[in-house]
Chains A and B, each alone.
Chain A
Amino acid sequence: MKPTIVKREPVVDDALDHCATKLTPEQIEKVVNEVIDKETGGRLWTYVNTCIHCGLCAEACQWYLSNDRDVSYAPVTKVKDTIWVMLEKKGKVDAAFIKRCSEIAHTECNVCRRCGMYCPFGIDIAYMMMVVRRICAKLEMVPLYLQDTVHSHAATMNQMWVKPDEWIDTLQWQEEEGQGYVPSARLPLEKEGAEVMYSVIGPEPKFLAQLLGNITAIMKVANIDWTMPATAGWDNSNMAMYSGDFEVMARVERLHYETAQRLKVKKIVMGECGHAFRGAEYDGPTWMGWMRPPIPLIHAISFYYDLIISGRIKIAKKAEGPITVQDPCNVIRNAGLGKKLRYIMNAVCENFVDVTPNDRHNYCCNAGGGVINVGPPWKKKRVQGNRIKAEQFKRTGAHTIVTPCHNCHSGIEDIVNTYKLGMHVKFFSEILIEAMEIPEDLQP
Chain B
Amino acid sequence: MYEFVSGPLVWIAFIIFIGGSLYRIYYMLSNSKKETVVFPHMSLEHSLASLVHWVIPFNNQYMRKRPIFTIVSFAFHICLVFTPIFLLAHVILLDESWNISWWSLPEGVADWMTIIVIAGCIFFLYRRLTDPVVKNVTDGSDYLLLAITALPFITGFIAYHQLFAYKTILIVHILAGEIMLIAIPFTRLSHMLFFVFTRAYFGSEQGHVKHSKDW
Query: Is A74 in contact with chain B by the CB < 8 A criterion?
Result: yes
The CA of A54 and the CA of B191, in the complex, are separated in Å by 12
A121→B136 contact, CB < 8 A: no
A: contact size bracket: 35 or more
User: When the two chains form their complex, are residues A76 and B61 in contact, meaning their CB atoms are under 8 A apart?
Assistant: no
Name the 6 nearest CB pairs between A and B, nearest first: A122-B202, A42-B32, A336-B211, A55-B133, A42-B31, A41-B34
Stretch of A13-21, A94-102, A112-120, A195-203 at the chain-chain interface: A112-120
Q: How far is the CA of A244 from the CA of B29 in the complex (A)?
A: 26
Question: Once the chains are docked, how many angstroms separate the CA of A49 from the CA of B65?
Answer: 26
Chain A residue numbers with a CB within 8 Å of B50 are 122
Q: Is the CB of B28 within 8 A of A45?
A: yes
Q: Pick the contact of B137 from A42, A53, A334, A357 — CB < 8 Å?
A: A53
A118 adjacent to B62 (CB under 8 Å): yes
Residue of B at shortest CB range from A287?
A: B36
In Å, the complex CA distance between A74 and B137 comes to: 10
Asked if A310 is at the interface of the complex by the 8 Å CB criterion, the answer is no
Q: Are A76 and B198 in contact (CB under 8 A)?
A: no
Q: How far is the CB of B136 from chain A (nearest CB, A)?
A: 5
Check: A151 CB closer than 8 A to any chain B CB: no
Contact present for B201 and A43 (CB under 8 Å): yes
Q: Tell me whether A45 and B31 are in contact (CB under 8 A).
A: yes
CB distance from A414 to the nearest CB of B (A): 27
Is B58 on the interface with A (CB-CB < 8 A)? no
> Which residues of the other chain, A, contact B37 by a CB distance below 8 angstroms?
286, 291
B137 touches A76 (CB 8 A): yes
A116-B214, A120-B195 known; 15 other A-B pairs, CB under 8 Å?
Answer: A41-B32, A41-B35, A49-B190, A50-B191, A53-B138, A54-B127, A58-B133, A121-B198, A121-B202, A122-B203, A124-B205, A286-B37, A289-B36, A332-B212, A336-B213
**Hey, which chain A residues are within 8 Å of B86, CB to CB?**
none
Inter-subunit contact B209/A71 (CB<8 Å): no
Give the CA-CA distance A357 to B64 in the complex, in Å.
Answer: 13
Q: Shortest beta-carbon distance, A224 to chain B, in Å?
A: 24
**Residue in B27, B30, B54, B133 whose CB lies within 8 Å of A120:** B54
Chain A residues within 8 Å of B134, by CB:
53-55
Residue of A nearest to B142 (CB): A53
CB distance from B114 to the nearest CB of A (A): 22
Digit string of B129-141 for contact with A (CB within 8 Å is 1, else 0)?
A: 0011110111100
Nearest CB of chain A from residue B78's CB, rounded to whole Å = 14
Would you call A254 an interface residue if the criterion is a C-beta within 8 Å of the partner chain's C-beta atoms? no
* Contact A42–B191 (Cβ < 8 Å): no
Q: A47 is contacted by which of B198, B209, B210, B211 (Cβ under 8 Å)? A: B198
Considering only CB atoms, which chain B residue lies closest to A330 in the complex?
Answer: B210
Give Cα A120 to B76, complex, Å.
15
Question: Is A123 positioned at the interface, with any CB of B under 8 Å from its CB?
Answer: yes
CB distance from B142 to the nearest CB of A (A): 6
Complex interface: chain B residues within 8 A of A42 (CB): 28-35, 38
Give the CA-CA distance A49 to B27 in the complex, in Å: 12
> A361 on the interface (CB 8 Å rule)?
yes
Q: Which residues of A52-99 are within 8 A (CB) of B?
A: 52-56, 58-59, 64, 69, 71, 74, 76-77, 80
* Bound Cα distance from A361 to B65, whole angstroms: 12
Judge whether A4 is part of the interface by a CB distance below 8 angstroms: yes
B199 close to chain A: CB less than 8 A:
yes
Residues of A within 8 A of B209 (CB): 282
Tell me how far the C-beta of A71 lies from the nearest C-beta in chain B, rounded to whole angstroms: 5
Which listed residue, B136, B191, B194, B212, touches A360 by the CB 8 Å rule? Answer: B212
Within 8 A of A (CB), among B44-70: 50, 54, 61-62, 65-66, 69
Let me know if A50 and B137 touch, CB within 8 A. Answer: no
Q: Which residue of B28, B65, B138 contacts A1 across the interface (Cβ within 8 Å)? A: B138
Most chain B CB inside 10 Å of its own CB: which residue of A42, A47, A287: A42
A117's closest neighbor in chain B, by CB? B214
Contacts of A336 in B (CB 8 A): 210-213
Q: Does A315 sit within 8 A of B, measured CB to CB?
A: no
Tell me the bound Cα distance from A122 to B203 in angstroms. 8
